Amino acid sequence: MTYCAALGLKDGMVFASDTRTNAGVDHISTFRKMYTYGIEGERSIVLQTAGSLATSQAVFTRLQNAIAQRAEHNLLTVLTLFDAAEMVGKLVREIITKAEDLANDSTSGTFGSTFMLGGQIKGQQTELYMIYPEGNCIRASEDTPFFQLGESKYGKPILDRSVNYDIDLHHAAQAMMLSFDSTIRSNLSVGMPIDMVIYKADSFKLPSIRRIRENDDYFSDLSKYWSDALRNTLLGLPDYPEDYWQ
């Protein structure tokens, strides 16, 4: 499986993806599931994926080739992020349809991949999209400022409780790390390293991926601090009234 999450906030965006892929528990590998695109000072785009690795890699490769070959429409030339999301959606559909035709299997959903695309183009707001295997997409809003992909349930409570549109990027990044920490502890199919990007609104900086590995001092400290705090909080909870269980 996979766990990816992206936060679209007032101050900017936070993206994180794990890197574990598995075909059965005895076939586990590490693959990048996050790619970045941009023109310094003009646009900054992050693309994440979960689902069929073959489909996802084909999409990334086609997007990359379009840029390398200076195709008329590529991620560095599209006018809006909505156009970028639609471009990815169209590509996903093409690749899935081709794979289904080849395998003569259009019902199993084996080839499905879902994407999240976020970032900013000069003169426009930051935007975050979820792009479905069907090719269509939805946009995050102030009411629903984050999206998750894959093994999302373990890490959802902490985001639900702590992330809102107005949270600053520093604390948002910490909440994101703890959401991943919770998921990794509870589910074997999500694993380190974690790829993470923080994008500050209106910075138009090329996004750079920080790869957080198992021996990352700060991540380990954060995880330990959080665990200890939870344990202490649990020990300090208000007692229930004496007659509560009668």
What residue ranges bind a second copy (CB under 8 A)?
A: 153-158, 160-162, 170-171, 173-175, 178, 182-183, 185-187, 198, 208, 210, 218, 221-222, 225-227, 229-231, 233-241, 244-246
The minimum distance between CB 225 and a second copy, in angstroms, equals: 6
Specify the residue, 55 or 182, whose C-beta has the smaller distance to a second copy.
182
Per this entry, what is the length of the chain?
246
Helices (H) and strands (E) in the chain, counts: 5, 12
In the complex, what is the shortest distance from the CB of residue 32 to a second copy, in angstroms, rounded to a whole number? 18
Is 45:36 a contact under the CB 8 Å cutoff?
yes
CB of 72 to a second copy, least distance (A): 34
Task: State the nearest-atom distance from the C-beta of 173 to a second copy, in Å.
Answer: 7
Nearer to a second copy among residue 102 and residue 240 (C-beta) = 240
| Cβ closest to a second copy, residue 41 vs residue 157 | 157
> How far, in Å, CA of 121 to CA of 115, rounded?
19
The candidate with the shortest Cα–Cα distance to 131, out of 155, 95, 176, 163, is 95
Secondary structure percentages of the chain, helix, strand, coil, to 5: 35, 25, 40
